[in-house]
Structure 1
Amino acid sequence: MPTEIRPGVPVGGFKTVGQIHATNDLVINRKQNALAVAVELLTDHIPGAPVVDEKGEFIGFVSEFDILRALEAGKDLNKLTAEDVMAKDRIAVTDDTTIDQAVKLMEEKRLLNLPVKKDGKVAYSVTRHDLLRAWIGLGVSFE
């Protein structure tokens, strides 16, 4: 089957997470108000984001599911922070993680987003959409 060469795609296709132009660069501060987090996720159409402390260290992940759980429990999002509602699992990959490994991890852990660390700090997250786009060879341009 012939391979179509697309602008922005490296020869041989994308191999690592670091080569992907991610669509989710949102990173949340642990003290950010939970209602503000919910609004930001909704406004940006992002299902979740990594949470960092004041030093920029990755401490957890907050998702729409975490916000929904807090609401379902009758909690007032105005009185909570991202740290109060986030999942404390610190599942992340590095920019040299292969796309195949990232797909398997996301499938195994049932993740919608996967934080990516660069130089020890969370730089962005890749989504299933980003991985699918990279897998089929779509570059950074949607043209």
Structure 2
Amino acid sequence: MVKSYRGVQEEKPVVIETQRISVKDYMSTHLITFHPDQSIMEVVQELLTHRISGAPVVNSMGELVGVISEGDCLKEVVKGKYHNLPSMCGKVKDHMATNVVRIHPEMNVFEAARMFLEMKIRRFPVLDDHGRLIGQISQKDVMRAVQNLKTENWH
């Protein structure tokens, strides 16, 4: 029998460093937003100018009331073609999506990624505990988050 000259050793717990990857760390906070009474033509111009595919719609109190996308704007284009009218004078409120899935800033980025895949949505508005719009996360934001991660210990 071999005895250790060091005596009984206390095992030190293995500490695994985990990375916190919340939506709030990767969401966009400087957002282009629209108002329900804006014209579709204004929206199209802004989407093209800023090279974005959609944006949140907020009321005069800054509350999220919907989301408008390129696809929503195309509805007005088709309507104009049908009526042989070249103008796009429709309003955002007539074409925006109002049943919007919202997420919390503390949500894990991987949960957001799962939601993107399941719901086939390109962006989620991020609301705080008081229901205020504080940001937006897109699929590109999630990919950026994953690119910045170490290869181990995600949570």
Fold match by TM threshold 0.5: yes
Q: Tell me the equivalent position of 2:37.
A: 31
Query: 1 CA distance for matches of 2:134 and 2:29?
Result: 12
How many residues are treated as equivalent by the alignment?
128
SS in 1 for 2:80: coil
**Offset, 1:121:** 1.0
Contact 2:80 2:87 (C-alpha < 8 Å) held by counterparts: no
Does residue 17 of structure 1 match 2:17?
no
Select the structure with the greater relative contact order (CA < 8 A; seq sep ≥ 6). 1
Q: Tell me the equivalent position of 2:100.
A: 90
Structure 2: 5+ residue runs without aligned partners? 1-16, 150-155
**Offset, 1:99:** 0.6
Q: Tell me the equivalent position of 1:40.
A: 46
Contact 2:27 2:138 (C-alpha < 8 Å) held by counterparts: no
**Offset, 1:23:** 7.2
**Offset, 1:74:** 2.3
Query: 2 CA distance for matches of 1:26 and 1:66?
Result: 16
Contact 1:13 1:137 (C-alpha < 8 Å) held by counterparts: no
Matches within 5 A, 1:1-143: 12-22=18-28, 25-74=31-80, 78-118=88-128, 119-137=130-148
> More strand per residue: 1 or 2?
1
How does the TM-score come out when normalised to structure 1?
0.78
How does the TM-score come out when normalised to structure 2?
0.73
Structure 1: 5+ residue runs without aligned partners? 1-10, 139-143
Question: What is the identity percentage for the equivalent residue pairs of Structure 1 and Structure 2?
Answer: 27
Query: 1 CA distance for matches of 2:87 and 2:21?
Result: 40
Q: Cα RMSD over matched residues?
A: 2.1
Name the CA shift for 1:24/1:63 in 2 (closer, same or farther; >3 Å): farther
Residue identity matched to 2:92? A
